[in-house]
Amino acid sequence: MERSEGDIAPVERSEGKASQVLAEEVSRRRTFAVISHPDAGKSTLTEALALHAKVISEAGAIHGKAGRRSTVSDWMEMEKARGISVSSTALQFNYRSAGSSVDNVINLVDTPGHSDFSEDTYRVLTAVDAAVMLIDAAKGLEPQTLKLFQVCKHRGIPVITVINKWDRPGRAPLELLDEINERIGLVPTPLFLPVGIAGDFRGLLRRGEDGVATEYIRFTRTAGGATIAPEEILTAEAAAIREGEEWETAAEESELLSATGQDHDEELFLAGQTSPVIYASAMLNFGVRQILDTLIELAPPPRGRAAIDGREREVTDPFSAVVFKVQAGMDAAHRDRLAFMRIVSGVFERGMVVTHAQTGKPFTTKYAQTVFGRERSTVESAYPGDVVGLVNATALAPGHTLYADKKVEYPPIPSFAPEHFSVLRAESASKYKQFRRAVDQLDSEGVVQVLRNEIRGDAAPVLAAVGPMQFEVVSARMKAEFNVEARMEPLGYGIARRTDAESADELGRQRGVEVFTRSDGVLLALVSDKWRLQYIQKEMPELTLEPLVAAAD
């Protein structure tokens, strides 16, 4: 017997309405990262996206030179001084695409471009649903871009390609597309093609079905690219008259791409086989609106995630979240520590008591904030896809799970294999307490891996890093945040291998080998070089010396 609406219990109606609200909130969210090689314009693009969403009124130059502003996403002094990103940060803002009546919520997680900070970037890629791969129009695919694309491929993250710096001299548009196809096996499917060669960027041709040009978006420069570039929309016929040969060239290239099957297919894009392509100039704010509109239209909304036991946690299930980054020193006035969590399922309400999966202990979320670069505001509620910062959550580390109601634990985030090792010492013995506190803080954030053994003691921990610039960050932050002068003494080791307690004593007696305990309890044997490693493995095959699995393997 069917029930009428009047027969439905109030609780059922309330739950049904809550589920509908949750579904609507999820559908309007897009969470993505920008990945690139250093100096491809990633931080400039991040700020240009925020400018087009009208959450900032003017873009700044990224290099932090005298008289210029640094980007909202680069807040560390080291970043401002060098004009590079060495730490990931989150920006959340609303954006309404052209012709839409809905405000979409953008969660943009900016990532370090430098290869020394690959581990931080990998953590970010565990928290997003899509990626924008930024390529320099003159340089094409570069090593760090290739590595990060492989991580996206491994994690099944769909990729939108942006060929940046089209306002500067560079390569031919089809040549760059061929390189993407040949080197990474991703079929590029341009949604727009540039009108004008690299260095003479006039506008974008919008591609329709079968590569037919549907309209021309003509841009006008603004002073220094500090404000949104005005757009003029012309028909294909008007564009042909206006631009002549440059338009005809772009139109012919569009039809040629269609003839070779390089038209957008949403199913293939989400399957990671193709990548929509947009040509842009982040510095001039050309093509930036098209990037945002494409993300809204094509990138997937938040999806469920498999737990460590293999079961899927759907976005409509009770609250759960993954901590993907811990960062201190963002607020010099308070010296606090922020744990960034990506909400996977359910609704987050500030003050709710959840469970910390790693300890089984309750965790109160009283101090919860949304982040825009270094600026923060209190968040009362959040939904799947959102990134929320929990203040002074000292028990949390990257890879940890928080949940409500049904128990869930998500797979941990793997650590990268370190390749550089240094002993860290405080310059002054009187600062030992601050020194210990600083080391523990940076270790919990995952800035470096901290190794200890009985011989060296706590006063001289060994730092292990993917790249040497991580050591510079440690020194700079210890001085700025803890008022501790410290010096690094490079160690003559080049390889780290996982070992066990049964092998540790014998390995410790070998020349060119030292055994340490990492903060997570893992035993690591540091070996001077590959020849020494090969000798030990040949002469003592019974000893455990396992490679540390890279995150993208």
Segment 129-153, tens digit of pLDDT: 999 999 999 999 988 788 888 888 8
Of 298, 274, 282, 273, the C-alpha closest to 228 is 282
The domain segmentation of the chain, as residue ranges, is 29-298, 305-403, 420-547
pLDDT band at residue 242 using 50, 70 and 90 as cut-offs: very high
CB atoms within 10 A of CB 494: 15
Q: Report the distance separating Cα 140 and Cα 164, nearest Å.
A: 10
Q: Tell me the CA distances in angstroms from 3 to 7, 8, 12, 13, 35, one per residue in order.
A: 6, 7, 13, 13, 53
- Mean pLDDT (whole number) for 230-242: 97
Beta-ladder partners of 93: 106
**Phi/psi at 91 (nearest 5 deg)?**
-130, 130
Annotated binding residue at 110? yes
Beta-ladder partners of 29: 105
pLDDT tens-digit map of 437-482: 888 888 877 788 899 999 888 889 999 988 888 888 888 888 888 8
What's the token pair of residue 361? 């202990």
The answer to whether 88 and 120 have CB atoms below 8 angstroms apart is: yes
DSSP code of 140? B
DSSP code of 2? P
Annotated binding residue at 400? no
Q: Report the distance separating Cα 335 and Cα 344, nearest Å.
A: 28
Annotated binding residue at 263? no
Question: What does the mean pLDDT of the chain come to?
Answer: 87
Torsion of CA 169, 174, 177, 178, to 10 degrees: -120
User: Does this chain's domain 29-298 share its CATH topology with 305-403?
Assistant: yes
- Mean pLDDT (whole number) for 57-69: 46
Of 134, 181, 131, the C-alpha closest to 162 is 134
pLDDT band at residue 61 using 50, 70 and 90 as cut-offs: very low
What's the token pair of residue 443? 């270790």
Q: Tell me the CA distances in angstroms from 103 to 235, 293, 304, 346, one per residue in order.
A: 28, 12, 23, 20
* Domain 305-403: CATH architecture, name and number where available: 3-Layer(aba) Sandwich (3.40)
Of 445, 387, 343, 412, the C-alpha closest to 120 is 445
Beta-ladder partners of 35: 133
The answer to whether 34 and 42 have CB atoms below 8 angstroms apart is: yes
pLDDT band at residue 64 using 50, 70 and 90 as cut-offs: very low
pLDDT tens-digit map of 250-276: 999 999 999 999 999 999 999 999 999
Residue 337 amino acid letter:
R
- Mean pLDDT (whole number) for 73-91: 51
Residue 484 amino acid letter:
V
CA angle (285, 287, 290) in 5-degree steps: 125
**Phi/psi at 120 (nearest 5 deg)?**
-65, -40
> Is 420-547 in CATH node 3.30.70.3280?
yes
CB atoms within 10 A of CB 184: 18
The answer to whether 204 and 195 have CB atoms below 8 angstroms apart is: yes
pLDDT band at residue 1 using 50, 70 and 90 as cut-offs: very low
Q: Roughly how many angstroms between the first and final C-alpha of the chain, as a whole number? A: 55
pLDDT tens-digit map of 396-412: 988 999 999 999 999 98
The answer to whether 316 and 27 have CB atoms below 8 angstroms apart is: no
What's the token pair of residue 269? 């894009």
Q: Report the distance separating Cα 364 and Cα 525, nearest Å.
A: 39
List the alpha helices (DSSP H) in 165-229.
173-184
Please give the CATH superfamily to which domain 29-298 belongs: P-loop containing nucleotide triphosphate hydrolases (3.40.50.300)
- Mean pLDDT (whole number) for 328-349: 78
The kind and range of the H/E element at 344 are: strand 337-345
> DSSP readout, 437-501?
HHHHHHHHHTSSEEEE-TTT-TTSPEEEESSTHHHHHHHHHHHHHH---EEEEE-S--EEEE--H
Lowest mean pLDDT among 173-187, 214-228, 435-449: 435-449
The answer to whether 464 and 493 have CB atoms below 8 angstroms apart is: no
The answer to whether 361 and 355 have CB atoms below 8 angstroms apart is: yes
**pLDDT for residue 86:** 41
**pLDDT for residue 330:** 53
Looking only at the bridges linking them, the beta strands covering 523-527 and 513-518 are antiparallel
Q: Tell me the CA distances in angstroms from 512 to 406, 491, 532, 536, one per residue in order.
A: 49, 11, 7, 10
Checking if the pLDDT of 225 tops 60, the result is yes
**pLDDT for residue 73:** 44
